[in-house]
Amino acid sequence: MNRELTDIVARILDGAKKRNVQGARASAYLSRESSLEWRDGKLDRLQESTQRGASVTLYVDQRYSSNTTSDLRPEALERFLDETVAMTRLLAPDEHRRLPDPKRYQGRFEGDLGIHDGDGLSRMTPDRRREMVQRMEAAARSAPGADAIISVTTAASNSSFDSVLGATNGLMVGRSGTGFSLFAEVSVKDVGERKPEGYEYGSSTRLADLPDLDRIGREATRRALELRGSRAEKSGLYPCVIENRIAGRLLGDLMAPLGGQAIQQKRSFLADKLDQPVASETFTVEDDPLFFGGLASRPFDGEGLTLKKRFLFEKGVLRSFLLDTYYASKLGREPTSGGTTNLVFPKGSRDLPGLLAAMGTGILVTGFSGGNSNPATGNFSLGIRGMWVENGRPVRPVSEMNLSGNHLEFWKALSELGADPFVHSSWRIPSLRFGPVQFSGT
């Protein structure tokens, strides 16, 4: 555990106790990031940052506030505590505000989560980042059809973080990790003034898990070219496949209503659906905080609650809400942790081409644009782009279309999960194949 951060947390907790608060939770963090952006053969942006700060959550006479500062000078921290404790005392009491039961801090996983790659970090020198961005650009520019390229932007970055979390009822834990990411974006000429863009990226906790540089560059070019000449199809009910790397946009609208506040405040179409089927039997989602090398792996959550693998959906049945200590108390339920970590899915048997073959004719959705979902009713509508598919083969690009539905019906049309979990997000979603759903176009 980082010594300096532990000292800051201890100082804040002591300061809170001195001010007669009943409970406090504090965290301190330090993160570093180095990134290089390269555009059309030249350095575009070089960035280095060191971010540090501290937060304190106060429980004062059953009153509650949460406060963050980047001003860690000792005298400023004292003043910060004076002001935030005084402010908290002026709020209305709330019997449900309290620190978690310390029992819930117990039984934490103490092993290696595979999220810290110090060796990888030391290899990410400024020269190495420069080689990476140049290599990706060269690959983008040597891909088939590259003469249509207007501009190529590539980026490489690495980061590390350290954090410590403590509470006055017996918690002092730390985490640290590293992150690596690569990005390439290509703009190409299309008819008229249109200049579609394609991008590709990779993100991982360990350097060796980053995708191949050449592949990232080539993919960005391929994806940009693929969008040329796109247009809307006629409105209609079409089967579709949602590509893995963007499926999180759709899933996010299904996950948000699982949160404690949404449930308790009646802003959730899932509030009365616990242990009921809400999706097809194909749909199983587990939250796995201990996934080795996972982008969101952690033994405890922001309240210090010990995390374990759990089902959120099991064969279409909703198995868990996301309840922090406060909303669990308000709802008269047990806390389940108020967020998700790594989401994992059963592995399907077919890759993306296999899913398209199974679909036959329909739409492959490769991008979402805008849109929203009504958390109270489940109605949603999202802009899409992608490919029109016939006999399992993408035949022409589509854009300026919307996908709409109601989440309580939509997920029942899920027919198949792909064999291609997207490993560059903590939500390791595979491509998803659906039966006929509503698309609007011309």
Partner 1 sequence: MRDINRRDFLRTAGSGIALLSLPPVLASCAGPTSAVKPAASGGAHATYFDAFGVDAGRLRRVIGRGLSRGGEFAEVYLQHKITHWVGLEDGQVNRAFTQVDLGAGIRVLQGDATGFAYSEDLSEGALLAAAETAAAVASAGGQGTPAEFSRAKHDNPYPVEVPWSEVGVDKKVPILERVDRACRAKDPRIIKVISYLTDEFCRILVANSEGLLVEDDQPMAVLSASCVAEHNGRTETSGHSLSARDGLPFLSDATIAEVVRRAAEYTLLLFDAGPAPVGELPVVLAPGVPGILLHEAMGHGFEADFNRKGISIYANRIGERIAPAGVTILDDGSGKIRGSVAIDDEGIPTQKTVLVEDGVLRSYLHDRISARHYKIASTGSGRRESFRFPPVPRMRNTYMLAGTSSPAEIIGSVKRGLYAEMFSNGQVNIGAGDFTFYLKHGRLIEDGKLKGYVKDANLIGSGPKVLAAVEMIGNDLEIVSGGGYCGKDGQRVPVGFGLPTLKVGAISIGGRSAS
Which residues inside 277-296 make contact with partner 1, applying CB under 8 A?
294-296
- Measured CA to CA, the distance from residue 368 to residue 420 in angstroms comes to 19
Residues 5-64 that bind partner 1 (CB under 8 A): 39-40, 42-53, 55, 63-64
Q: Please, what is the minimum distance in Å from the beta carbon of residue 76 to partner 1?
A: 5
**Residues 255/311, Cβ–Cβ less than 8 Å:** no
Residues 340-359 that bind partner 1 (CB under 8 A): 340, 342
**Contact residue for partner 1 among 6, 65, 134, 168 (CB under 8 A):** 65
The number of C-alpha atoms within 13 Å of 11 and in the hemisphere containing its C-beta is: 18
Helix (H) or strand (E) run with residue 3 in it: helix 3-18
Residues 413-432 that bind partner 1 (CB under 8 A): 424-427
282 or 426: whose CB is closer to partner 1? 426
**Contact residue for partner 1 among 2, 154, 366, 402 (CB under 8 A):** 402
Binding mask 116-155 for partner 1 (x = CB under 8 A): ----------x-----------------------xx-x-x
Main-chain dihedrals φ then ψ at residue 301, nearest 5 degrees:
-95, -170
**Contact residue for partner 1 among 197, 212, 214, 314 (CB under 8 A):** 197
Alpha helix segments (H runs only) across 168-246: 213-226
**Contact residue for partner 1 among 181, 280, 361, 415 (CB under 8 A):** 181
Name 381's bridge partners. 372, 404
Main-chain dihedrals φ then ψ at residue 397, nearest 5 degrees:
-80, 145
- Measured CA to CA, the distance from residue 372 to residue 357 in angstroms comes to 30
With binding defined as CB under 8 A, does residue 388 bind partner 1? no
Residues in the chain, how many? 442
Residues 82-121 that bind partner 1 (CB under 8 A): 83-84, 87-88, 90-94, 97
Q: Please, what is the minimum distance in Å from the beta carbon of residue 357 to partner 1?
A: 28
**102-125: burial string, b at 16+ Cβ within 10 Å, e else:** eebbeeeeeeebbbbbeebbeebe
Binding mask 219-248 for partner 1 (x = CB under 8 A): --------x--x-x--x-x----------x
